[in-house]
């Protein structure tokens, strides 16, 4: 029987993580949103790996208070129809141009993930924590996609809060859309990045 030296394996794993850490952190620091995305989107094993990484979001009491809808290809037409239904309900005189613009929003990327907070009753975990956890998954997915050579943008707007859109997507009344994560390949990676200074947001206390 082969005796496994778990301590040596743990040290080796830690060293590998430390070696990769500078590159990972540098990539995170370069992350930005890409409002227009084209084919290809992540798929197959790559997409599975991205989603698996995304699901490592912090999750108080391991409730897994989330679910995600994957929409791509011709199925985006149905999402666009829901956007139009929302518009014409809110604006009875919405012109054909406005309706066409609403429908086109479902085609700004080849793959859309709808992040849904599927709240669970728990005395120690209020809804806000569960919503944040769901957002953490979406954020992780976006970062993982970026690491794999894809772009992403997180969108909300009226379609995230529309009862018409929620009903059309099969989202229950007790659930919320936290965001639409658009995934694909940027036409150009050369998009200006807005600087963020750590000292503007982090202070030493007390």
What CATH number did the domain enclosing 161 receive? 3.40.109.10
- Laid out side by side, the sheet with 176-184 consists of 66-72, 111-117, 176-184, 151-155
User: What is the pLDDT averaged over residues 40-45?
Assistant: 96
Mean pLDDT of the chain: 92
Is the residue at 17 inside a domain? no
pLDDT, one tens digit per residue, over 69-85 is 999 999 999 999 999 99
Confidence of residue 68 (pLDDT cuts 50, 70, 90): very high
pLDDT of the residue at 10: 56
More confident residue, 23 or 58: 58
Is the residue at 170 inside a domain? yes
Is the residue at 86 inside a domain? no
Q: Per-residue pLDDT for 7 more than 70? A: no
Where does residue 172 rank: exposed (0-12), middle (13-18), buried (19+ CB within 10 A)? Answer: exposed
Number of domains in the chain: 1
CA 111/CA 48 separation, integer angstroms: 14
Confidence of residue 27 (pLDDT cuts 50, 70, 90): confident
Q: Which domain holds residue 40?
A: 33-72+107-189
Confidence of residue 26 (pLDDT cuts 50, 70, 90): confident
More confident residue, 124 or 26: 124
CA 104/CA 90 separation, integer angstroms: 18
pLDDT, one tens digit per residue, over 79-109 is 999 999 999 999 989 999 999 999 999 999 9
Q: Per-residue pLDDT for 44 more than 90? A: yes
Q: Say which DSSP state 3 is in.
A: P
Is the residue at 102 inside a domain? no
């Amino acid at each position: 029987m082969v005796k496994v030296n778990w301590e040596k394996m743990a040290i080796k794993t830690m060293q590998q993580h430390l070696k990769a850490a500078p590159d990972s952190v540098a990539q995170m620091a370069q992350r930005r949103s890409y409002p227009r995305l084209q084919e290809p989107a992540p798929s197959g094993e790559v997409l599975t790996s991205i989603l698996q990484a995304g699901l490592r979001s912090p999750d108080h009491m391991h409730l897994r208070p989330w679910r995600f809808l994957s929409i791509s290809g011709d199925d985006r037409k149905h999402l666009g129809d829901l956007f139009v239904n929302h518009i014409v309900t809110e604006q009875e005189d919405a012109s054909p141009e406005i309706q066409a613009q609403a429908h086109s929003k479902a085609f700004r990327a080849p793959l859309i993930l709808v992040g849904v907070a599927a709240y669970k009753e728990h005395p120690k975990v209020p809804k806000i924590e569960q919503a944040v956890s769901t957002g953490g998954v979406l954020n992780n997915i976006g970062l993982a996609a970026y690491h794999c050579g894809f772009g992403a943008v997180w969108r909300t707007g009226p379609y995230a809060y529309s009862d018409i859109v929620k009903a059309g997507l099969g989202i229950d009344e007790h659930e919320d859309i936290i965001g639409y994560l658009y995934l694909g390949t940027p036409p150009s990676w050369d998009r200006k990045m807005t600087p963020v200074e750590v000292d503007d947001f982090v202070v030493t206390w007390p």
